[in-house]
Amino acid sequence: MPDRVRHDKKQEKKGISKNQTMPTAPDISIVVPVYEEEASLQALATQIRAACADAGFTFEVWLIDDGSRDGSWSVIEGLHDADERFVGLRFRRNFGKSAALAAGFEQAMGRYVITMDADLQDDPAEIPHLIAKLEEDNDLVSGWKKRRQDPLGKTIPSRFFNFVTRVVSGIPLHDFNCGLKAYRGEVVKAVRVYGEMHRYIPLLAKWEGYERIAEIPVHHRPREHGRTKFGLERYIRGFLDLISVTFLTRFAARPMHFFGTLGTLAFLGGFVISLWLSLDKLVNGNPIGDRPLLLLGVLLIMVGVQLFCTGFIADLLLRRRMEEVPAFQVTETTTSPRRETAAVLRET
């Protein structure tokens, strides 16, 4: 399949004239991260074809092989040879689910984008339901595995994880980690997924201004082939990522509010302690040189100054970045019915 061409200059470099008609974008792009799912891919492809045919959707499927060591890539090649709507990308090594989704989002051309896992636990028959909910003026629709077909060792930690994420993020979803989601095409182009941030795409989308987020219960099936690729350690990494994404979404555009507030509180605490000790020595004549409280006061003052300077430096760097890329998005104007502006402030 030819590389995607987004600008006239790039088209000319690749030998595509400005007047040449590009392929019509499908209704749906389906992005499927694949890691050692050789036994599931044929059945998944059959079910996707059936679901989209019944609903009358045109579609493309991006199968992202995340460094599989089994025969997954051979199956993907066979699927593409039989049906060019199934396209594969192969990573040199295992980069993780977030990287696979990011690669698929970059290539997706559909008006809507569906993500799902390759292990057949996500049911492609849910695609029309997700799209129907998306067309109720929503930006993102997340699946909810209400009747989850997994052992208690996965369901109980997952419920606790989802509860904490729901409280911290303010997004009323029951299942942030469900792989079955639907997005408007512009949403996946706006979010930047990296590390292990795939769990928090709804939060990243909300940060970008896509706040119409909905949820529907979806059919979850038992795993038929292979074994799960995730252990309990993903919840530890998940909580660390939650702290990171919460900081980024709240303070990335105003770091002084975070560092400056902590620095001011620490400095004031140290100043009050030092002032009290000084008055105690001057008024009462008590020695303060061997008192641990003096060290605490000096330490708080130093930490406060350092935190304040960190916030100041971060603001200077941010201001330089803002001179290059404005920190806003434009979705509509009075002169153009639908004019998207990719002026989005991002971390480098």
List pLDDT tens digits, range 321-332. Answer: 655 655 555 656
Of 79-93, 199-213, 227-241, 284-298, the one with minimum mean pLDDT is 227-241
Written as six digits, the tokens of 39 are: 């036994």
- Cβ–Cβ contacts within 10 Å for residue 168, how many? 14
| 290-337: pLDDT as tens digits | 888 989 999 999 999 999 898 888 877 766 665 565 555 565 655 544
Written as six digits, the tokens of 266 are: 């620490």
How far is it between the farthest Cα atoms of the chain? 91
The sheet that has 59-65: what strands, in order across it? 86-90, 59-65, 28-34, 112-115, 181-184, 140-144, 213-217
d(CA 90, CA 105): 15
Q: What is the pTM of this model?
A: 0.70
Of 44-53, 100-109, 129-138, 326-335, the one with minimum mean pLDDT is 326-335
Q: CA of 182: how far to CAs of 37, 91, 243, in Å? A: 22, 24, 25
Give pLDDT, residue 58.
95
Band (pLDDT 50/70/90 cuts) for residue 192 is confident
- Cβ–Cβ contacts within 10 Å for residue 253, how many? 15
Strand pairing class (59-65; 28-34): parallel
